[in-house]
Amino acid sequence: MSRLVIVSNRVPAPTKEGAASAGGLAVALKAALEQRGGIWMGWSGKSSENDEPGPLSLTEEGKITYALTDLTGKDVEEYYHGFANRVLWPICHYRLDLAEYGRKEMAGYFRVNRFFAHRLAPLLRPDDIIWVHDYHLIPLAAELRQMGFKNRIGFFLHIPWPPADVLYTMPVHEEIMHGLAAYDLVGFQTDHDLENFAGCLRREDMGDAIGDGRFTAHGKVFKGGAYGISIETAAFAEFAKKASSHHLVQRARQSVKDRDLIIGVDRLDYSKGITQRLDAFERFIVNNPAHQRKVTYLQITPKSRSEVPEYEQMQRTVAEQAGRVNGALGTVDWVPVRYINRSVSRPILAGLYRLAEVGLVTPLRDGMNLVAKEYVAAQDPEDPGVLVLSRFAGAARELKKGALLVNPYDIEGTANALARALNMPLEERQERWRKMMDHLLVHDVSRWCQDFLDDLVA
Ligand code: ADP
Ligand code: G6P
């Protein structure tokens, strides 16, 4: 079997503190790679003091060798904060209004991709399979090809791919499309993203689908497909069962005794629809006075990308809103919203999911959303909770038979779904949960990894 070399910007390398990484890419890839082993190269998360980042730092853990590089402060600013998180992220999440195009940042993005290619090159053997992840590193294969590498190189995009009218507002859209054509296989989360991609190729006569999962563009032929990322379903279910007896989970249980629990778990990101969700919760309470003092909404939201102005602004907005809702609805013996700004360890997270009667997952746009899948896997089969899920999450395409699908922009509709979820009879809850769980047991993260790699080497 060929050696697998994974490259991603964010790498969940072992830390002394053993902190859990929030973010679907790190969580899912770690689970996938732990079984197969290989090299995982990426950014250390640190910026070097001077213009010359030191040598790669190599650490082994189990079957994985982590190879991490620092970046300069300028690189982090232009490539990560500037282009990846202020252009590609908003554009791919359909937020044209938030994209900030700066020439410096665009140049920085391509420069850092070249730098990654040069750092990676000495590690590579001719028969390595290279698998590049996410929007930070789209031009990486083109750089490696220019350096003469003939390896199989695949790319997987963890976030949505937008329609042509959205993508084409980005000044460097052509270079980005060009970058994708340098891979042997380009993977998206859903068939919808794949269709958008094909539409982008067609719109400017850049290329087209030529059948059998193949595309042609910029004089290249490459494969494209949809591969929905997932979780370690069986292991996570087992984890959640055990976590129920964890003392922190028991304390949480005690604290919501005689009350229903609604849980939301997201990085603090504008794509997650947290403010609309708080509005919907408020509307639900106002519309359903019988639930007053009988329900707690727990929102666990670690800070994310705080150096980016839109994220910093959001920290204030959400904190103020949670305070306002509590002020408006709370009573001397009831705090409706518990808002936590931290990461939680995975066993506790799993136990809290299991405790909650409702998993409220309402992104405005999301590539997949692993929280939705984790919530389902964590449930007690005898007495499962209900997943209220945005139709704009990739996960909705897989879980639509069991979840209550909502339009997160429709506050009244989401409030009604909450009422329906909390009043749902046991039999219907079990039936809906079973459908989702059966799907997730088959379509877990190992299957995702295998399907992608099979197609990459085929
Ligand atoms: P994204 O990748 O956009 O952050 P996902 O829902 O796909 O969204 O993945 C988020 C991952 O991060 C999940 O595995 C989730 O368990 C984890 N996560 C999110 N918030 C927290 C938190 N507060 N503490 C620990 N893990 C978290
Ligand atoms: C999403 C992206 C990942 C990213 C994660 C956390 O899951 O798809 O690429 O790692 O968010 O964001 P961060 O900027 O902290 O890496």
Asked if 415 and 432 sit in the same domain, the reply is: yes
Task: Give the position, in ligand 2's atom list, of the atom nearest the Cα of 8.
Answer: 9
Order of strands across the sheet that contains 295-300: 337-340, 295-300, 260-265, 358-361, 386-390, 404-406
pLDDT at 278: 98
**pLDDT beneath 70: ranges in the chain:** 15-22
Which residues are CB-contacts of 165 (< 8 A; sequence separation ≥ 6)?
none
State whether the beta carbon of 446 lies less than 6 angstroms from ligand 2: no
* Domain span holding position 42: 4-230+445-457
Amino acid in the structure at residue 198: A
Asked if 208 and 260 sit in the same domain, the reply is: no
Write the residue with the smallest CA distance to atom 6 of ligand 2.
Answer: 23
Distance CA 55, CA 61 (A): 19
pLDDT at 38: 92
DSSP bridge pairs for 264 = 299
State whether the beta carbon of 366 lies less than 6 angstroms from ligand 2: no
The preferred substitution site among 6, 7, 10 for testing ligand 2, maximizing ligand atoms within 8 Å of CB, is 10
Provide the 10 A C-beta neighbour count for residue 235: 13
434 membership: H or E segment, kind and range: helix 426-442
Asked if 226 and 340 sit in the same domain, the reply is: no
Task: Give the position, in ligand 2's atom list, of the atom nearest the Cα of 22.
Answer: 6
Asked if 96 and 161 sit in the same domain, the reply is: yes
State whether the beta carbon of 302 lies less than 6 angstroms from ligand 2: no
Write the residue with the smallest CA distance to atom 27 of ligand 1.
Answer: 22
Distance CA 105, CA 76 (A): 10
The preferred substitution site among 229, 267, 301, 340 for testing ligand 1, maximizing ligand atoms within 8 Å of CB, is 267
Convert the pLDDT of each residue in 228-240 to its tens digit. Answer: 999 999 999 999 9
Between the alpha carbon of residue 138 and those of residues 19, 20, 235, 337, the distances in Å are 28, 26, 32, 40
Task: Give the position, in ligand 1's atom list, of the atom nearest the Cα of 344.
Answer: 24
Write the residue with the smallest CA distance to atom 14 of ligand 2.
Answer: 305
The dihedrals phi and psi of 321, each to the nearest 5 degrees, come to -65, -45
Asked if 430 and 302 sit in the same domain, the reply is: yes
Ligand 1: residues with CB < 6 A are: 20, 22-24, 27, 265-267, 300, 302, 343-344, 349, 368-371, 374
Write the residue with the smallest CA distance to atom 18 of ligand 1.
Answer: 22
Asked if 157 and 45 sit in the same domain, the reply is: yes
Task: Give the position, in ligand 1's atom list, of the atom nearest the Cα of 271.
Answer: 3
210 membership: H or E segment, kind and range: strand 207-211
Asked if 341 and 410 sit in the same domain, the reply is: yes
Asked if 307 and 192 sit in the same domain, the reply is: no
Distance CA 252, CA 416 (A): 26
Asked if 248 and 115 sit in the same domain, the reply is: no
Write the residue with the smallest CA distance to atom 22 of ligand 1.
Answer: 343
State whether the beta carbon of 269 lies less than 6 angstroms from ligand 2: no
Nearest ligand to the CA atom of 348: 1
Convert the pLDDT of each residue in 40-64 to its tens digit. Answer: 999 999 998 777 777 899 999 999 9
Distance CA 324, CA 316 (A): 12
- What is the Å distance from ligand 1's center to 24 Cα? 6
pLDDT at 389: 99
Q: Compute the radius of gyration of the chain from its Cα atoms.
A: 22
Asked if 390 and 358 sit in the same domain, the reply is: yes
Asked if 273 and 420 sit in the same domain, the reply is: yes
State whether the beta carbon of 24 lies less than 6 angstroms from ligand 2: yes
Asked if 208 and 257 sit in the same domain, the reply is: no
pLDDT at 282: 98
Amino acid in the structure at residue 269: D
CATH code for the domain in which residue 114 is found: 3.40.50.2000
pLDDT at 319: 96
- What is the Å distance from ligand 1's center to 108 Cα? 28
Task: Output the six-digit token pair for 200.
Answer: 């982008």
Write the residue with the smallest CA distance to atom 4 of ligand 2.
Answer: 23
Number of domains in the chain: 2
Instruction: Evaluate whether 399 touches 264 at the Cβ level (below 8 Å).
Output: no
pLDDT at 55: 84
Task: Give the position, in ligand 2's atom list, of the atom nearest the Cα of 134.
Answer: 9
- Residues labelled catalytic: 158, 366
Provide the 10 A C-beta neighbour count for residue 217: 20
Which residues are CB-contacts of 360 (< 8 A; sequence separation ≥ 6)?
262, 263, 264, 277, 281, 297, 388, 418
Task: Give the position, in ligand 1's atom list, of the atom nearest the Cα of 361.
Answer: 6
